[in-house]
Copies of this chain bind each other. A is one copy, B any other.
Amino acid sequence: MIIDGLQCGHFDREAFQSLQKAGVGGVVVTCGFWEGAVESLDSLGRWRDLVRENADVAEIATTADAVDRIGRSGKVAVILGYQNANLFEGRIRFVELFAELGVRVVQLTYNNQNELAGSCYEAEDSGLARFGKEVVREMNAAGILVDCSHVGDRSTLDAIEASSRPIAVTHANARSLFDHKRNKSDDVLKALGQTGGVIGCAAYRNITGDDYCRSIEAWCTMVARTVEIAGIDSVAIGTDRSHNFTAPDYAWMRQGRWTRGVDYGASAAGRPLKAPPPDWFQKVEDLNVVPGGLRAVGFSDREIAKITHGNWLRLYEATFRKQ
C-alpha cells in the first residue's frame, strides 16, 4: 500500500479509481489554498458529498487506524488537509472546531507570509510568529498534523521546536539534492529526523529537477539520498500530484487574491503553467512502480514498507485526534 502525503486538484470518481490502480490506499487531499473559514466549510461540504457519492471507492479517514483499514480494504482513504491556515481566520478556537469536522493536516502557511509564519518564497523568513506558536500548540491539542512544506526553513525549525508532537513536510525535497526555494535544508531534514517528523518526497518536476524525473530508479535514488539525510523512519512519499487542474486553478493556486500581477509559484516565467510530470509518472496509475523502484535501488521490504506507508501511519498515529 502507498500513502501519498499530498495531492491536490479536482478529485472525481476517475481520480479515485486511478489511485486504486496505483495502489494508493491513503491520500492527503488539498481542501484549500487561500480560502477563509466559510469557503473552507464549503470545501468540507463538497468533499463529504464527493466521498459519499463514491463510497464504494473512497472513504474519509480521521485516524491512522482508519487510513490503514480503508487502504487495506482496497478503497482510498481520504485525509482532509489544507495548504494554508486561512481557514482559521486568526481564531485560535477554530482549530478545535475544524479538527472536529475532520481536518487532520494544515500547512502553517502557503506561498506567502501570513500571521503564523514565514514562507519559503519570502525574502525574509520571520520565524514562527506569536499566533503561529499558539496555533501549533492548539493543533497539537486538537489532533491536527502540522505541515511545513511551503513554510520557510527558519519557521519550520521553529515549528519543530514549538510542537510537542512530530511535524510533517508533506511534499518537498532536499535542497541539497535539488536547489529550489520550496525544498528543505539538510538542517531541517535532520531536525525532522531527530523528532520523529516525516518528509514526503515530491514528484513534482519543478521541485524535483529533470535528472530525478528521468526514471523511477532516478527518483528512488533521490529518495535514498533523502533517507541518508533524514533517516529511514522520516522519509515517505508526497507526490504533489494534481487532478484535473486547468489554467484558472493554477492562477488561483499561485495568485489567489493577493496580487494583481503574476506569480509563478514553484514554476518559472519560462514555463508558467503545469510542469510535465516525471517521465515515469505520466498517469496517476504509474505510481504503482514506486515499490519496485525502491527495491531496485537497494531498499529492503521492511524499508519499502516504511517509505510507502509505514512512516506516515506512525506520524498520523502520533498526531491525529482519536475520533
Contact = CB atoms under 8 A, between A and B. Distances in A.
Interface stretch (A5-13, A41-49, A124-132): A41-49
How many protomers of this protein does the assembly include? 2
Contacts of A53: none
Contact of A93 (B49, B91, B94, B96): B49
A45 B97 contact: yes
Nearest to A37: B38
Which residue, A48, A91, A94, A97, has most C-beta atoms of chain B within 10 A?
A: A97
Contact of A37 (B37, B46, B49, B96): B37
Interface string A106-121: 0000000000000000
B45 A41 contact: no
Contacts of A49: 93
A249 interface: no
Contact of A97 (B44, B91, B94): B44
Interface centre among A37, A41, A49 (most CB of B within 10 A): A41
Nearest to A98: B41
Contact of A41 (B44, B48, B97): B97
B93 A101 contact: no
A89 interface: yes
A93 B43 CA distance: 10
Given A37-B37, A41-B37, A48 B100 contact: no
Given A100-B100, A101-B101, A91 B45 contact: yes
A141 to B, nearest CB: 12
Contacts of A38: 36-38, 89
A45 B93 contact: yes
Contacts of A46: 93
Interface in A137-192: none
A132 B279 CA distance: 53
Interface in A43-83: 44-46, 48-49
Nearest to A93: B45
27 contacts: A36-B38, A37-B37, A37-B38, A37-B41, A38-B38, A38-B89, A41-B91, A41-B93, A41-B94, A41-B97, A42-B91, A42-B93, A44-B93, A44-B97, A45-B91, A45-B93, A45-B94, A45-B96, A45-B97, A46-B93, A48-B93, A48-B96, A49-B93, A97-B101, A100-B100, A100-B101, A101-B101
Q: Return the 7 tightest CB-CB contacts between A and B, nearest first.
A: A45-B93, A37-B38, A41-B97, A97-B101, A41-B94, A100-B101, A38-B89
